[in-house]
A and B are shown apart, each in its own frame.
Chain A
Amino acid sequence: MTPTPETTSATPPAAPSRHVQEIFLGEGVPESGTENLVVNLGPSHPAMHGIVRIVTELDGEQVVKTDVEIGYLHRAFEKECEIGPYNAAMPYTDRLNYVSPLINNFGFCSAVEKLLGIETTERCQYIRVILSEISRMSDHLTCVGASAMELGAFTVFLYMIKAREFLWEVIESVTGARLTISHGRVGGLKADLPTDFEAQVRRAFAETRTVLEESHKLLTSNRIFVDRMQGVGILTREEAIAYAVTGPLLRASGVPFDVRRATPYWVYDRLDFEIPVGETGDNYDRYLVRMAEMEQSMRIAEQALAQLPGGPVNVDHEGRPFALPAEYVDRGKLGKTEGLLITDIRLSPNLAGQERRHHEKVNAPDKRTVLPPKETTYGSIEGLMNHFMLIMDGFGIRPPRGEVYFPVEGANGELGFYVVSDGTDRPYRVRCRPPCLPPMAALHLMLEGGMVADIVPTFGSVNMIGGELDR
C-alpha cells in the first residue's frame, strides 16, 4: 500500500497515541499511520496440506512477516522407535511421508542393514529402486496436482490423481495395501513381486505418460498458471544451501544435488538418469523440475525392470503336490515333519510372495536378521528355533554397538536415518532427518515480500507432508 501524499508530507502522527491503542493490529506501524494486520493461516485450513499454522503480518495485500508454526502432527516417531524391536518401527516409518511410504521403509531398512553390515540380494535392491521410483512419482503427482488445483486448474488435479491411482494399484498388488504398506524388512522385503508385475507397471506408466502429456498441455504454457507461478516464491541457490534445502526445491534453485547420484545406494549407479535443474528457484521451476523428475523416475524404473535379476517368478510348480497351508501347519504341529522341508506350499493370497523360492530371492541369507520362510519354520526344528530367536523379546535383530547415518533421496529431498545401537534388540536412538523441515524453515524467505494470494501456491510447491515434518 503506497501512502497518500498527504500523510507522508505531513508530520507523522504523535507517537504516544499508539500506546493507548486498544485493538492490537500487529507490530511495525508504518509512517502512513496504517497498521499491519496479523492473519492466521491454519492450523486447519483446506489449503494447508496437513496441519500447519502460518502467522502472517500483512500490509494490505503484501506479506511483511511470517512465522511458521509446526508440530500439530507430532506423534513421537523417534521415541516410539526406541520402544520396540527394529522391524517393529516399520509401520511408524510408513507414516512419515504417507504419500511415498515405501521410500521411508527402505531407507530405514538400509540404515539398519548398514549397521548390521549385511548386503541384501541384488533382486531386492532392484525391487527397492522400482518401488521407490513409483512412490516418488505418486508424491510428485500429488504435489503438482494439488498446486494446480489451488490455482483453479481442477482438471489437472483429477488427471493426476487418476495417474496416481494407477500407480497405487501397482503398489497395492505388490504390498497388499495402498498407504500404510509396511513392505520393508531389515535384510529384505515382506514379499516378492507378483507374477504380472512388469505388465502392470508398463500399463501404469503408459497411463501416467498420457496424463503428464495432458497436464503439460494444460499447464506449462497456460497464461494464468505461468503468471501465478513465475517469479513467485523465489529461493536463491545460496539461501537454499544455507537452509539445507534438498530435493526438487534445491534442484529448482540450480544445484544438481541428488543423493541417488551424489552417494549412490542400492543399484542407482547402474541406472542411467538425468537430474533436472531449474534456474531461478521460483514456483514455476519447481513445477518443471517435478514434471521432469517423473519422467526420469519412469526411465529408472523401466531400466531396473529390464535388469531385474531372477526373472519372472513362476508360482506354479509342476510334478509336486501342494499342501494347503493349514494342513501343512497341522502336520508340522503333529510332528509329522518328514518331507515337509522340501515341500513347497502355497500360502494364502495375502501372504503370496513369501514362499521359500521367493524368500531367497529378495532376502539376505542372514539367519540373525531375516525370518525364515514358512516352509522352514514349520518343516524343521532348526527353522522353528530360528523363527523364535528372531521373535522373542530380547532376542531378534541385535546390531553391534555403534552409530550409522544412511541418506536416501526421498520425494522431497534427503531422507536420512541416524540410528544408534547399544547392542540390544531395540534401537537406542532413531533420528529421522525430515526432508520437509528445511524448506519449511526457509518458507518465510519465499513468502515475505510477496502477495497474500501467493502464499498458497508457494506453500503448495514446498509439498509439506505433515507426517514427516512433525514426526
Chain B
Amino acid sequence: MQGPDILARLQERFGAAVLATHAEHGDHTLLVGLGTLLEVLRFCRDDAALQFDMLMDLTAVDYLTYPGREDTPRFEVVYHLYSVPHNHRVRIKAGVEEDAPVVPTAVPLWPIANWLEREVWDMYGLRFAEHPDLRRLLLYEQFEGHPLRKDYPVTRRQPLIGPRN
C-alpha cells in the first residue's frame, strides 16, 4: 500500500479523530489525539490491509522552545511503524500535555514497546499508563530529572551516589 492510501484508510476509519496528516519528504504522518491513540495503533496492527506488525521506533519530542508551537501540547510521542508483509511505513504522532503526561501503553500490542516506553519515561518523564515495569532504562534510579526535556540544562550536574549497601 502506498503512503497516501495508508493515510486515506486511517482517515476513513477514524474520521474526525485524525487531527492532521502530512507527507513531508515522503514520510506519511498522522497526528491523532491521545484518547484515540491506542485504538489507532491497534487498528494499524490488526487491519489486514495495513498489518503494521513492527513497532520500528517509539520516541518523543519536547516542543517547549519550538517557535510557533506555544499553543499546542508540549510533548509529542512518535511511533514509527513498519509492516513486514506489505513493506510500508507510517508515522503516528500524538500530543501530550505537560500537566498530564500520561500516555496509554502499547506493550500489549508490541512487546518491544516495553523498553522503548521505559526509555521515553527515562528521557522525557512521560508516564505510560498500565506499563508493566516502568523503570528507567538508560539512566540510574537516583538520577534527578529527565534529560532530554528542553528545560534540562546540558551543564547540570547530578549528585554523586555512594555504593549501594
- Residues of A at under 8 Å CB distance from B? 70-71, 74, 76, 78-80, 83, 114-115, 117, 241-244, 255, 257, 262-263, 402-405, 407, 414, 416, 418, 420, 422-423, 428-429, 431, 433, 437-438, 440-442, 470-471
Contact = CB atoms under 8 A, between A and B. Distances in A.
B24 A402 contact: yes
Interface size class of chain B, counting residues whose CB lies under 8 Å from the partner chain: 35 or more
Nearest to A80: B154
28 contacts: A71-B136, A71-B140, A74-B138, A78-B123, A79-B148, A79-B154, A83-B154, A114-B26, A115-B25, A241-B53, A244-B55, A244-B56, A255-B84, A257-B84, A262-B87, A404-B27, A405-B80, A405-B91, A416-B80, A418-B78, A422-B65, A423-B67, A431-B59, A433-B56, A437-B115, A437-B116, A438-B115, A441-B115
Across the A-B interface, give the 9 residue pairs with the lowest CB-CB distance, nearest first: A71-B138, A441-B115, A433-B57, A244-B112, A74-B138, A431-B59, A243-B112, A402-B24, A244-B54
B147 A76 contact: yes
Interface string B21-62: 000111101000000000000000000000001111101011
Interface in B74-104: 78, 80, 82, 84, 87, 89, 91
B35 to A, nearest CB: 23
B25 to A, nearest CB: 5
Contacts, number: 93
| Most chain A CB neighbours (cut-off 10 Å) among B65, B114, B138 | B138
B54 A405 contact: no
Interface string B150-164: 000010000000000
A429 B67 CA distance: 14
Given A242-B111, A428-B66, 4 more contacts: A78-B148, A433-B57, A441-B111, A442-B111
B84 A433 contact: no
A418 B57 contact: yes
Contact of A241 (B54, B66, B89, B148): B54
A217 to B, nearest CB: 35
Contacts of A420: 61
Given A114-B25, A115-B25, A418-B80, A242 B112 contact: yes
Nearest to A67: B133
A440 B115 CA distance: 9
Contacts of A115: 25
Contacts of B24: 402-404
B139 interface: yes
A422 B67 contact: yes
A389 B122 CA distance: 38
Interface in B106-165: 110-112, 114-116, 123, 136-140, 147-148, 154
A414 B67 CA distance: 32
Contacts of A78: 123, 148
A325 B80 CA distance: 49
Nearest to A75: B138
A429 B84 contact: no
Contacts of A74: 138-139
A280 to B, nearest CB: 18
Given A71-B140, A243-B111, A428-B66, A433 B80 contact: yes
Contacts of B66: 422, 428
B37 to A, nearest CB: 18
Nearest to A116: B25
Q: Which of A255, A403, A414, A423 has the most CB of B within 10 A?
A: A403
Contacts of B78: 418, 431
